[in-house]
Structure 1
Amino acid sequence: MRGFVLVGLIAVVAGGLVAAVTGPTGLAAGSWMAAYLVLVAGVAQAGLGVGQALLAAVPPSAPRTGRQLVLYNAAGIAVLIGTVTEAVLVVVAGGAMLFAALCHFLAAARRPRTHAWYLAVYRALLAVLGVSIPVGLVLSAVRHG
């Protein structure tokens, strides 16, 4: 859980910094990058990491969470690089990796130890992220394809 929260916090700060320099530098995709860093790389990542730690009947092993952390963040980096360089195939690869990471998170809390309201929130977060992938891919293709 700590790794996801730490990287998520770093992403939120990075998103704030990107937002601060977007106007003065004329960074075309700056506002989108800031939002992606804060919402997907930051808040969502921390929520998924905390959620699976609290919900999983058996907490995920360190190697499993390490793989999730690497996959989720490699996906985010690919999406960011693909968007900035207008490389749609890189965005598609990032979207595919993000989908794979979400599947890992879903599997980690497949048999939750509780049926409280935060299980619904966790699943809703997964669903929102899952639905946003094809939407983002289409938008990327329309903008840069």
Structure 2
Amino acid sequence: MTEPAASTTARPARADLPFRLLALVWVITGGLTAAVTGPLDLEHGSWSAAFQVLVAGVLLGVLGIAQHGLAARAPGRAVLLAELLTWNLGGLAVIGGTVLGAPLLVDAGGALLVVMVVLMLRAVGRRAQGPAWLLWVFRAALVLTAVSIPIGLVLAHLRAA
């Protein structure tokens, strides 16, 4: 009896796995942030925890999974790496800038988040596969994210003033 070739038995790597794992890390650290900052009464603790969980974590996971399911052609490693780096570094910059009262750092983080939105729009493109409603939900989530970023940047500048 011969064994099947390794190429027929190995599962293809899921391009959304890094998105899922990093989203989980953000959600866990957001929960830990909430647990620590509440008792310590830290000024931006609840905001930071919410941002980590909802924006940096859940949104990253949802967008990464949706991109994987909708893109007619899987994005290359360079695109995936750029998406992950811009989103995660942007999230860290937004949190760090908010906590430190450094609105220009928040601006830099917001710019990185916008880059990821554009990269995802391009990765899925016009020839997306899957249900049309899912594609519109994906695009709406990206547009809402892109619209909310400048609002958050203005708020960061108002708080720092």
Instruction: Give TM class, smaller chain.
Output: over 0.9
Q: After TM superposition, list the pairs within 5 Å mapping 1:110-125 onto structure 2.
A: 110=125, 111-125=127-141
TM-score calculated relative to the size of structure 1: 0.96
Counterpart of 1:103?
Answer: 118
Give the number of aligned pairs: 145
Deviation at 1:116, TM superposition (A): 3.0
Counterpart of 2:155?
Answer: 139
Q: What do you get for the CA RMSD once the two structures are aligned?
A: 1.0
Tell me if 1:91 matches 2:106.
yes
Q: Which runs of 4+ in 1 moved over 3 A?
A: none
Which of these residues, 112, 122, 143, is aligned with residue 127 of structure 1? Answer: 143
The answer to which of 118-127 and 75-84 deviates more is: 118-127
Larger radius of gyration: 2
Deviation at 1:97, TM superposition (A): 1.0
Tell me if 1:16 matches 2:16.
no
AA at the equivalent of 2:103: V
Deviation at 1:21, TM superposition (A): 1.3
Query: Which structure 2 residue ranges, 5 or more long, are not aligned?
Result: 1-15
Q: 2:73 aligns to what SS in structure 1?
A: coil
What CA distance in whole angstroms lies between the structure 1 residues aligned with 2:20 and 2:38?
29
The structure richer in helix per residue is 1
Counterpart of 2:71?
Answer: 56
What CA distance in whole angstroms lies between the structure 2 residues aligned with 1:86 and 1:15?
20
Deviation at 1:125, TM superposition (A): 1.2
TM-score calculated relative to the size of structure 2: 0.87
